[in-house]
Structure 1
Amino acid sequence: MRERLDCAILAPGREDWADALSGPHLGGRLMLHTPRQPRVGAAEALADPAMALGRYDAGLLYVDKTTIRDWRTALAALGGRPPAVLLAYAVGLRAQAVRDLMVLGLTDFMRPPFCPEELRARLDHALSRLAPARMSESSPVYGAAAPGAVSGIAPDIPVTASEAAFCETILDRSGNELEAYAVSVAMQRATSRESFRAAKSQVVARFERAYIRAALGRHAGNITLAARMAQKHRRAFWALMRKHEIDPAPYRGAPTSK
């Protein structure tokens, strides 16, 4: 963990918000900077030479409904190669909109209200994930699948403890939580924009299995009730059971959970 992190605030049109946050936070362990440029747009903000030269450890993008189109265009123009670790301060955005930005190269996001501790923690996590790649002697060949791998990710990745804990409470999660979690895990496992789809498909498959098993467990193996809770047609729910080879028999006769 670094003793001090420098983060540039990129907030075209919201310079007042950026200026209010600029300066030291957490006793100097987090320094927020407002790049001194004329008022510019999203593309120009990302093209700031200070970003390309590594002046900052990361960039914090102010993204709301009025600026998300500009940020999408600017990130797409970079071809998945942002100049630094980029986080979005997502104001009033739905999970789908955040996911689109992450596919284009965004590393992570946070929501209002602004919390220096949360930003510092997310930056530490993002930068620690990049450390092994930065220390390697040779650059990895992204998108080159290893034997038995699919599009740059390893097959049959073991379920982590956090993933198992999340699956245990999957029926109590909101749609936004589920989507944000899926995007986060897929981004951690992907090595390129192409392999994001493959990683996402693994996350979706695991979600389907966990949800179906939890729904069957809650309703003692009653497929009709489980499908109704999932808001899926009984035949569609049954098709997912066959896809993942889930037998309802072990759940029948078990006490239902509320």
Structure 2
Amino acid sequence: MRERLDCAVLSTPCCFDWLGPWLGPHAAGKLQLHPLDGCNATVDSVESARLLAASSMRLRRYDACLIPVNESNLAWARTSLSMAKGALHTPVVALVRNLKAAALDDLHTLGLADFVRDPLCIEELRARIERLLDGNRYLASPPAATSSISENRANYTRMAGLAGPLTQEALCATILDRSGTELEAFAIASASRCATTRESFRAAKSQVIERFERAYITAALGRHSGNIAMAARAAQKHRRAFWALMRKHDIDAAPFRAEAVPNHPGDG
């Protein structure tokens, strides 16, 4: 673990009120959040969207770049990441507020290395940056398609430290703690493996999605002690849709409640 991490912050005015108080030193100086001087980003300026790419050299001084993203500046974040793709050597982490899963997937596709949710947990941010740096999970310049698949497959096997079917089980058991890059590597590894079998594209895709859904729903219920409403809210899914997935995979919330809080005589 590094003695100190320095994280640059590139923000827009719509996020200043909830990000501003976090600027400065944290964890006894082990994590420093620095505003990126001279970068006054606005959501309605094309020049502002170029700031991330234009700051690539300055960002080399930092371990990571944090960008706060909500519904108001989502378009700016998308454009900024798109323009900076292939130019950055510093991982970009988003501090997100009220974003749906589809928006997060889009940001990852455009080059986002990882994200944390608001309200910010400093220890989580520090841990995620450490994992990005230690595992070399951020690629500034995506390689050709063929080498990308093989490298990501190798990266996933190395990350998990396992091979074969156990690799999938290891990921499923810790799926809520995995970064977007790790999940992408897992998807690539699974697709690459299925392509060498006699399974059809449709059957292979269905199998991977089914495993992911079952693992995610189970992990979410476990984290929230079987509280379906809280698990659905954390997953950013409507409660009915979350319940439908539980029925689809025959998952019962009751065992998670029993494990979390033992019943005592006299409890109401």
TM-score (norm: length of structure 2): 0.58
Q: What SS is found at the alignment partner of 1:145?
A: helix
Give aligned-pair identity as a percent. 32
**Alignment deviations for residues 82-122 of structure 1 (CA, whole Å, 9 cap, x no partner):** 34111100100011111110111101001111111111001
Q: Which runs of 5+ in 1 are unaligned?
A: 135-139, 171-176, 214-226, 232-256
**1:7 and 2:2 matched:** no
> Of 205, 208, 218, which aligns to 2:210?
208
What does residue 185 of structure 1 align with? 182
Partner of 2:20: 19
> CA contact under 8 A between 1:65 and 1:92: conserved in structure 2?
yes
Q: How many residues align?
A: 201
Choose which of 97, 106, 111 in structure 2 pairs with 1:100. Answer: 106
Given candidates 102, 115, 136, the residue that maps to 1:109 is 115
CA drift of 1:55 comes to 1.8
Secondary structure, aligned partner of 1:7? strand
Please give the alpha-carbon distance, in whole angstroms, between the structure 2 residues aligned to 1:95 and 1:102. 11
CA-CA distance at 1:7 after TM superposition: 0.3
Determine if the alignment matches structure 1 residue 76 to structure 2 residue 82: yes
Q: How does 1:1-258 map to 2 (within 5 A)?
A: 1-13=1-13, 14-37=15-38, 39-41=40-42, 43-49=49-55, 52=58, 54-130=60-136, 142-143=143-144, 145=146, 150=149, 152-154=151-153, 158=163, 163-165=168-170, 167=172, 183-188=180-185, 205-208=207-210, 229-230=247-248
Unpaired segments of 5 or more residues in structure 2?
Answer: 43-47, 158-162, 195-203, 216-244, 256-268
Contact 1:88 1:109 in 2 (8 A): yes
Provide the C-alpha distance between the structure 1 equivalents of 2:214 and 2:49, rounded to a whole number of angstroms: 43
Q: Aligned partner of 1:24: which letter?
A: P
Taking the aligned partners of 2:120 and 2:132, their CA distance within structure 1 comes to 18
User: Counterpart amino acid of 1:37?
Assistant: G
Q: Is the 8 A contact 2:95 2:115 kept in 1?
A: yes
Partners of 1:228 and 1:30 lie apart in 2 by 39
**Cα 1:160–1:107 shift into 2, 3 Å:** farther
Deviates most, 4-13 or 203-212? 203-212
User: Which is greater in Rg?
Assistant: 1
1:117, 1:164 → 2: CA distance? 27
Shift in CA distance, 144/94, structure 1 to aligned 2, threshold 3 Å: closer
Q: Is the 8 A contact 1:76 1:104 kept in 2?
A: yes
Q: Once superposed, what is the RMSD of the aligned Cα atoms?
A: 4.4
Distance 2:179 2:34 in 1: 31
Distance 1:12 1:182, change over 3 A: closer
C-alpha distance in 2 between matches for 1:59 and 1:129: 17
Secondary structure at 2:8 match in 1: strand
